[in-house]
């Protein structure tokens, strides 16, 4: 029995050592491959990531505002909750607009297409912020005029998001 336990412990130790070697090998391979990339390749990959995150954020923010609006319509949220949620969305939009504007004005976006993309994202974020404010306005004063203004902005935002992301309307 002791010999069997000793053999199991030896096998576990060998597996542990092998895992350490495999992890070290993977880290070495990763570091070597990252050194082989040019600065332009890394920059391109980073910009691609920023674009993907931006598109995802726009899509999710649009969906979130709509879901909260639906929740209000079906009495799932009260006015105070909606105002808190929309204020948070507006602050997030402001923060991302600030970052993108710094990227544009700081000369970090050298390609015209990257600058145009950032400009489009900024404009859509400002539209989403306006949509969030219009929802707050409607919640505070349930007039037809406020509802129509919210709906118009919602449609404008979807049109801009779908165009940017290549989604058929």
Domains: count for the chain: 2
Burial 91-110 (b: 16+ CB within 10 A, else e): ebbeebbeebeebbeeeebe
Mark whether 85 and 150 lie in a shared domain.
yes
Mark whether 135 and 149 lie in a shared domain.
yes
pLDDT in tens, 102-159: 988 988 888 889 899 999 999 999 999 999 999 999 999 999 999 999 999 999 999 9
Mark whether 3 and 64 lie in a shared domain.
no
The position carrying tokens 């145009």 is: 116
Residue 169 lies in a domain: no
Mark whether 101 and 121 lie in a shared domain.
yes
pTM (2 decimals)?
A: 0.75
What is residue 8's predicted lDDT score, i.e. its pLDDT? 43
Residue 94 lies in a domain: yes
Residue 168 lies in a domain: no
Mark whether 32 and 71 lie in a shared domain.
no
pLDDT in tens, 13-49: 455 455 555 666 666 666 655 556 677 777 777 778 8
Residue 110: domain span: 38-163
Alpha-helical (H) ranges within the chain are 2-36, 39-73, 79-105, 112-140, 144-165
Q: CA 85: distance to chain centroid?
A: 17
Alpha-carbon distance of 161 to 59, in angstroms, equals: 7
């Amino acid at each position: 029995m002791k010999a069997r336990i000793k053999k199991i412990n030896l096998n576990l130790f060998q597996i542990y050592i092998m895992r350490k070697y495999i992890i070290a090998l993977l880290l070495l391979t990763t570091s070597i491959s990252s050194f082989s990339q040019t600065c332009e390749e890394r920059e391109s990959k980073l910009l691609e990531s920023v674009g993907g995150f931006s598109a995802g954020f726009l899509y999710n923010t649009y969906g979130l505002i709509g879901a909260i609006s639906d929740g209000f319509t079906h009495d799932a949220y009260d006015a105070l909750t909606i105002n808190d949620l929309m204020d948070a969305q507006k602050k997030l939009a402001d923060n991302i607009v600030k970052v993108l504007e710094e990227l544009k004005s700081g000369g970090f976006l050298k390609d015209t297409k990257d600058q145009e993309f950032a400009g489009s994202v900024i404009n859509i974020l400002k539209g989403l912020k306006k949509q969030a404010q219009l929802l707050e306005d409607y919640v505070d004063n349930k007039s037809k005029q406020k509802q129509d203004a919210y709906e118009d902005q919602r449609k404008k935002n979807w049109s801009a998001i779908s165009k940017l992301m290549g989604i058929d309307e």
